[in-house]
Amino acid sequence: MVAKRQRNKKGGIKGGEPAGPSPESIKREKEKGKTLKSSVWWQNQLEKGECHYCRKTFEKKDLTMDHIVPLSRGGKSTKGNLVVACEPCNSDKKYYTAAELILKNQMNSNINF
């Protein structure tokens, strides 16, 4: 049986490394992202039609919202953390940060975070 870890007041694990964001926090951020998707700001981003990562041009229907710092890593649904990405780039990025993705690509995918 695995012992349940207790969280301290700041959300970290007592006596251990900081915990990731809580499921409730991720759920709140996803709701914020949904709200931003209907904003004029997001529609203007989509109108440009360019993927933030590969810089190729796509139709609006082929573009997605991506968190530069993933929600699972503590990222927020803010204009400064959201970019337009094509589906392949968003899928390849997964839960990596931009810095990790650069390192991963430079090391020919022989690194795990």
Tens of pLDDT, residue by residue over 40-85, are: 999 999 999 999 999 999 999 999 999 999 999 999 999 999 999 9
Does residue 58 fall inside a structural domain? yes
* pLDDT higher than 60, residue 2: no
CATH number, domain with residue 59? 1.10.30.50
Task: Report which residue type is found at 86.
Answer: C
Domains: count for the chain: 1
Per-residue model confidence as pLDDT tens digits over 24-33: 999 999 999 9
Q: What is the pTM of this model?
A: 0.76
Q: Where are the beta strands (DSSP E) in the chain?
A: 63-67, 82-86
Is residue 14 in a domain? no
Q: Judge whether 13 lies within some domain.
A: no
CA 37 vs CA 8, 32, 85, 96, 97: distances in Å: 34, 9, 13, 22, 21
